[in-house]
Amino acid sequence: MMSRKKIFLLMTLPLVGIFFLFDTVPLLTGFVYSLTNSKGFGSFKFIGLSNYLRLFTDGDVLSSYYFTFKFAIVTTVVVNVFGLLLAIVLNSRIKFKTFFRGIYFLPYILGGLVVGYIFNYIFTFILPSFGKSIGSALLSSSILGSTSTAWIGIVITVAWQSIAFNILIYMSGLQTIPEDVYEAAKMDGSSKWNTFWKITFPLLAPFFTINLVVSMRNFMMVFDQIMSLTGGGPASSTTSISLLIYQKGLSGNQFGYQSANSVIYFVIIVVISIFQLKVLNKREVQL
């Protein structure tokens, strides 16, 4: 008879091997290419840290980082605020609660490209037609066609699709809070807002941490919706870091250079996630 430890080891090793093959090896390979002037084909030579130094003076790279951070922060706030509010509503005693839960989760199972093309049609044709019919100058033109408003269309699209995950996490947290706590607060004359701020929100802190970290990470890597909505335009105003790496690295003959960008990008995401976890975990302990 094999010991339990050996059985667990045999079960774990294949998964570790798959992770190493499809995650660690590409990461290390990308780092090697980041030290070269590779175009993605043909010969190349090692150039050391030149690609990394060049990144800090590249206007296209800096603007893509600015857009990505702006988009990720705004969308994270929007998704978590509305996700928490909707979770509270869907967790309350309302009719057809199960039906509404299913409806709100439906967008999450759709592909990002599909959702992007649907909203592209809405923003380009349906909303402008509606705006012209009611005489609204604001709605008469597509928000995706302006460098100052295109990013708002992407925020709306991504938030609409992503909010289902946050609702699910917050609902899971709300169901862990005993009803006795709310009944005691009601007996003490606590208002609804005070009950939410003093009881519900603190007890949801671990779930808030999960949603905040996952949302920020996912929105930092946004790609599909931008590709189908704007393609990075107009005038590269909505080019995210992921999209820039894809466009310049695969079709712009900057494979080595964008490999360096992807390494920096990976480090930034890891640092932000660790920072969020440390800050939010401290808050949980204090609560």
In this predicted model, what pLDDT tens digit does every residue of 62-71 receive, in sequence order? 999 999 999 9
Flag whether 14 is in a domain.
no
Dihedrals phi, psi of 142, to nearest 5 degrees? -70, 130
Per the domain annotation, does 4 fall within a domain? no
In a domain, 75, yes or no: yes
Per the structure, how many domains does the chain have? Answer: 1
pLDDT digits (tens, 9 = 90+) for 60-103: 999 999 999 999 999 999 999 999 999 988 887 777 777 777 78
Answer with the residue of higher pLDDT: 150 or 187. Answer: 150
Q: What is the pLDDT of residue 284?
A: 60
Q: Give the domain CATH number at 235.
A: 1.10.3720.10
Cβ–Cβ under 8 Å, residues 35 and 187: no
Q: Compute the radius of gyration of the chain from its Cα atoms.
A: 23
The average pLDDT across 128-143 equals 87
* Cα distance between residue 148 and residue 152, in whole Å: 8
Residue 3: the pLDDT is 76
In a domain, 1, yes or no: no
List phi, psi (to 5°) of 174.
Answer: -65, -35
Taking residue 47's Cβ as centre, other Cβ atoms within 10 Å add up to: 16
Q: Does residue 51 form part of some domain?
A: yes
What domain range is 91 assigned to?
Answer: 21-113+162-286
For residue 68, being part of any structural domain is answered with yes
**134 class by beta-carbon count within 10 Å (0-12 exposed, 13-18 middle, 19+ buried):** exposed
Determine the pLDDT at residue 260.
94
Q: Residue 50: inside a domain, yes or no? A: yes
